[in-house]
Amino acid sequence: MKLSKAHIKTLREVPAEAEIPSHILLLRTGMIRKLASGIYGFMPFGWRSVRKIEEIIRQEMDAAGAQEIHMSAIQPAELWQESGRWSAYGPELWRIKDRNGRDFCLGPTHEEIFTDLVRNDISSYRQLPMNLYQIQTKYRDEARPRFGLMRSREFIMKDAYSFDRDFAGLDQSYDNMYRAYEKIFTRCGLTFRAVDADTGAIGGSNSHEFTALSEVGESEIAYCEKCAMAATTERAECVDAPAEDAPLLALSEVYTPGTKTIEEVAGFLGVPQERTIKALLFVTYDDEGEFKEYVAAFIRGDRELNMIKLVNALGIPEHAIAFADEAAMGAATGSVGGFTGPIGLHDCKLVVDSELKGLRNLVAGANKEDHHIKNVNYGRDYEGDIVTDIKMLREGDPCPVCGAPVKHTRGIEVGQVFKLGTKYSQAMNATYKDENQEDHPLVMGCYGIGVTRTLAAIVEQHHDDNGIIWPVSVAPYHVIITLVKPDDQAQRQTAEEIYDQLAASGVEVLLDDRDERPGVKFKDADLLGIPLRITVGKRAAEGIVEYKLRREAEKTEKTVAEAVREAIALVAAEK
Ligand code: 9G3
């Protein structure tokens, strides 16, 4: 492709709403074009990269035995009413009506469609297992679209659905897709973790989120570099400090004026924060939103409470709990804000972190203004109504799997694998007959990849101050030949010779033959992030060109033949 003919509009400045690197760079390179809030179009270079990601997905999905189909983006309401989801979703479900007033939606996902398809087509166990997939545009009317392709209202998703005769079969389909995903994201050049979204689920995980590590990601990840452990911090299991066997010392109340925080009381008494008990006070509500009970949660003083684990322990939804008004709770339970401890509370549910059971002689609030109690011991002095892990896994804590110190980062969810079981097949009567002609519901799994979100995640992981640094496998073009002086015969001839040789070898090559200053051409080559730049300049007459990989600072001079040979080798090795 000659750049003088290419329809591409690079930008120096981008709208203020573009805050993260991928959003800024995909706009500055002219690869995407915003149509409306959360709705983007793909221009030539952007579309070439999207198609390469799709091609990698197709190759690995087909290799895994899945079969590609292509369903409509428009879905009749009747199927969503049958699955019970039509009323389960709010304005995010993009509902529309046809000219006769019939209800449809723009599909946000396709469980109902694929289940309906298969219930009509599959009747026998002999047809199982089956995995059907599509690469289709999805619609979710997000309340706050942001970050460009990261959270848009229209996006391209590969969604696959597996159908098995039983859960053992589903486990195999799931593992098969899990391995295919590892290959796909590796080939896309992503650093990722399969985050266990069901930490602690009995009998294996029921879903994993494939998460590209990135500081701009929406989910916070705890992961281990030594083993494969990775979990969203809100779900990550923690390891309790080892139980202590020191003798139980006698309780003693101490005057600790004004020490309302853990830091203050630990400082005042000259003990480490690990030797104190932190209290957090809550009020919970029932399904009607009426007052249910007071809750006091206790964790080791240096730790942070994990709200997801607390509400799971209480068996309530996240919206049914709030921090308590300390005065009101004090009157009702005997707690005293800043001086609350587990001894002597009443009319209050005590949720005690499992770690406290094994620790000895801790400092806790005395439920008395300006006073604490030393040598508090679980069992002898108090008991919890609920005793379980309610702490946050911190950076440096031991990995719950292998004990190595865990790390924290953020992540962009680019793929999900779910075991659906019979949720949809029961609701929609999708069954098969076994060897004895008996009917059974199909056992399903579903598997998504955010294709356009993957494009953004790749840019987040592969850029520098000068622009994008495309992995060869998904770059819009492999090589850019920067012709310094288009009207210099020797240079132009050399550039076109290289161009023709590369193109003839299947290398996707750009020729920057524009009538622009060299500086502008070098800046654009860096911004666009083409993996390899071959500069044809004043030494062209000697048959010498400059060879530079976008991912390295080094520039080397090579003969035309060397440059062509090495370019072909680079692309063959990394595409
Ligand atoms: C909706 C709306 C938004 C949604 C859903 C339904 C997310 C919905 C979950 C999934 C699960 C899997 C197949 C591919 C992999 C992910 N957001 N989900 O079901 F109506 Cl408005 O989509 N689906």
CA of 109 to the centre of ligand 1 (A): 5
Domains of the chain: 52-236+408-460 (3.30.930.10), 252-388 (3.90.960.10), 477-574 (3.40.50.800)
**pTM here?**
0.86
* Residues in the chain, total: 575
Query: Is the CB of residue 560 less than 8 Å from the CB of residue 495?
Result: no
What is the predicted pLDDT for the residue at 219? Answer: 84
What is the predicted pLDDT for the residue at 235? Answer: 83
**Residue type, position 507, single letter:** V
CA of 133 to the centre of ligand 1 (A): 15
Paired with 396 in beta bridges are none
Question: Which structure tokens are listed for 460?
Answer: 């987040």
Query: Is the CB of residue 442 less than 8 Å from the CB of residue 432?
Result: yes
**Distance between CA atoms of 2 and 418, rounded to whole angstroms?**
45
The residue whose two tokens read 């800046």 is: 523
CA of 286 to the centre of ligand 1 (A): 28
Query: Is the CB of residue 464 less than 8 Å from the CB of residue 527?
Result: no
What is the predicted pLDDT for the residue at 269? Answer: 97
Pocket lining: 108 vs ligand 1, CB cutoff 6 Å: yes
Query: Is the CB of residue 431 less than 8 Å from the CB of residue 415?
Result: no
What is the predicted pLDDT for the residue at 214? Answer: 95
What is the predicted pLDDT for the residue at 412? Answer: 96
Stated as kind and residue range, the H or E segment containing 23 is: helix 21-28
Pocket lining: 448 vs ligand 1, CB cutoff 6 Å: yes
What is the predicted pLDDT for the residue at 510? Answer: 98
The DSSP code for 167 is H
CA of 157 to the centre of ligand 1 (A): 11
**Distance between CA atoms of 197 and 237, rounded to whole angstroms?**
11
CB-based contacts of 328, cutoff 8 Å, min separation 6: none
Question: Which structure tokens are listed for 241?
Answer: 């400090």
| CA nearest ligand 1 atom 20, residue | 93
**Distance between CA atoms of 420 and 115, rounded to whole angstroms?**
11
Query: Measured in whole angstroms, how far is the alpha carbon of residue 20 from the centre of its chain?
Result: 16
Q: What are the start-end ranges of the E strands in 268-320?
A: 277-285, 291-300
DSSP line for 407-456: EEEEEEEEEEEEEEETHHHHHTT-EEE-TTS-EEEPEEEEEEEEHHHHHH
What is the predicted pLDDT for the residue at 201? Answer: 52
Pocket lining: 208 vs ligand 1, CB cutoff 6 Å: no
What is the predicted pLDDT for the residue at 155? Answer: 98
Pocket lining: 446 vs ligand 1, CB cutoff 6 Å: yes
CA of 108 to the centre of ligand 1 (A): 6
Pairing of strands 371-376, 277-285: unpaired
CB-based contacts of 92, cutoff 8 Å, min separation 6: 108, 140, 141, 142, 143
Pocket lining: 505 vs ligand 1, CB cutoff 6 Å: no
| CA nearest ligand 1 atom 14, residue | 448
Burial of 143: CB neighbours in 10 Å, binned 0-12, 13-18, 19+ = exposed
Question: Please, what is the Cα angle at 220 between 204 and 188, to 5 degrees?
Answer: 80
What is the predicted pLDDT for the residue at 206? Answer: 86
Q: Give just the sign of the alpha carbon dihedral 13, 14, 17, 20.
A: negative
Phi-psi category of 111—alpha, beta or left, where left has phi over 0 and alpha has psi -120 to 50? alpha
Cβ atoms within 10 Å of 7's Cβ, excluding its own? 8
**Residue type, position 182, single letter:** E
Pocket lining: 300 vs ligand 1, CB cutoff 6 Å: no
Blockwise average pLDDT, block size 10, the chain, 575 residues:
95 90 97 97 98 98 98 98 94 98 98 97 97 98 96 98 98 97 98 80 75 92 90 89 96 97 97 98 95 98 96 92 96 96 97 98 98 98 98 94 94 96 96 98 98 98 98 98 96 98 98 96 97 97 97 98 98 96
